[in-house]
């Protein structure tokens, strides 16, 4: 009984070893099969085909065709024909007939604003009052410095100007042109008329706050017209003690004289 049990135990121990060896061999065989499949599926490298050498060839001229001869005789013949021609005389320059000078039409005259015609307006005496030549050369606008001109004379005593201000005789820095006054002179101004206004001097030889003092004939509107045109006036400020009195009041009188005799 004891021997029988011993043989059976050894047989049992041998069976697992055989199974293990068989499974190991199967695993190795599977790996070998997988490796063979991978090697067969992998693309085989192709050898590059050798490139043939470039073929070169030469072109030989055709023996049957003859080279073209230059057309020298034609050129020489043309030269002979050109040389044998008689020289042409130069043509005189063509002169266009001189056109008759057209008379120059004069520019249209300035519209006549006054009743007496353009001559009446041209003879308007707006330059009776003299100006300082020293101030024209200096051309400055400083109010504190002393100039080279003489003192200005007062037209009226103290209190005769607007708000009791003293009036001085105006002296032109730049006389107004006829074109500057033409738009403000009313129609029908009779010969010998005049306008008198008072203005306060300002910087850059300008005047402001002009007031009407008188006109002749009364009611003609000349003083109002000159007051409206005063923004174009350039008047030297009066001088007292050699100093420019910017802000002082000056009187400006413009006379419209009669037309000169023709």
Any domain includes 14? no
Q: What is the pLDDT along the chain (262 residues), one digit of tens a residue?
A: 444 445 455 555 566 788 888 899 999 999 999 999 988 887 777 777 777 777 666 766 666 656 666 566 555 554 554 455 555 666 666 555 555 556 666 654 444 444 444 444 454 455 444 444 444 444 444 444 444 455 665 555 555 667 778 999 999 999 888 788 878 876 756 778 899 999 999 999 999 999 999 998 888 888 999 999 999 999 999 999 889 999 999 999 988 775 433 3
SS3 category, 124: strand
How many domains are there within the chain?
Answer: 1
Q: Are 136 and 149 in contact (CB under 8 A)?
A: no
β strands within 17-141, DSSP E? 124-125
Any domain includes 201? yes
Any domain includes 214? yes
pTM above 0.75, yes or no: no
- For 84, phi and psi rounded to 5 degrees? -80, -15
**Residue 97, pLDDT score:** 54
Any domain includes 110? no
Any domain includes 171? yes
Any domain includes 35? no
Q: What residue numbers bound the domain in which 172 lies? A: 118-256
Any domain includes 158? yes
User: Any idea what DSSP says for residue 231?
Assistant: G
- Alpha carbons 159 and 252: distance in angstroms, whole number: 17
- Alpha carbons 146 and 212: distance in angstroms, whole number: 31
Any domain includes 55? no
54: tokens are 């470039």
* 193-201 and 249-256 strand pairing: antiparallel
**Residue 197, pLDDT score:** 94
């Amino acid at each position: 009984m004891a021997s029988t049990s011993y043989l059976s135990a050894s047989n049992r121990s041998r069976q697992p070893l055989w199974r293990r060896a068989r499974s190991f061999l199967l695993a190795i065989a599977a790996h070998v099969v997988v490796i063979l499949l991978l090697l067969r599926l992998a693309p085989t490298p192709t050898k590059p085909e050798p490139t043939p050498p470039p073929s070169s060839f030469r072109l030989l001229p055709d023996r049957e065709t003859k080279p073209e001869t230059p057309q020298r005789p034609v050129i020489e013949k043309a030269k002979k024909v050109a040389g044998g021609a008689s020289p042409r005389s130069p043509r005189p320059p063509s002169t266009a007939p001189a056109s008759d000078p057209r008379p120059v039409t004069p520019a249209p005259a300035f519209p006549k604003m006054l009743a007496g015609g353009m001559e009446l307006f041209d003879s308007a005496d707006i330059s009776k009052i003299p100006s300082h030549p020293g101030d024209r050369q200096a051309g400055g606008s400083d109010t504190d410095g002393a100039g080279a001109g003489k003192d200005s004379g007062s037209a009226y005593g103290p209190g005769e100007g607007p708000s009791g201000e003293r009036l001085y005789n105006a002296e032109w820095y730049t006389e107004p042109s006829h074109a500057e006054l033409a738009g403000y002179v009313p129609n029908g101004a009779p010969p010998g008329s005049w306008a008198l206004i008072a203005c306060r001097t300002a910087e850059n030889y300008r005047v402001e706050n002009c007031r009407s003092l008188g006109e002749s004939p009364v009611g003609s509107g000349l003083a109002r017209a000159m007051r409206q045109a005063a923004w174009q006036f350039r008047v030297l400020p009066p001088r007292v003690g050699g100093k420019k009195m910017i802000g002082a009041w000056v009187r400006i009188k413009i006379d419209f004289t009669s037309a000169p005799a023709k």
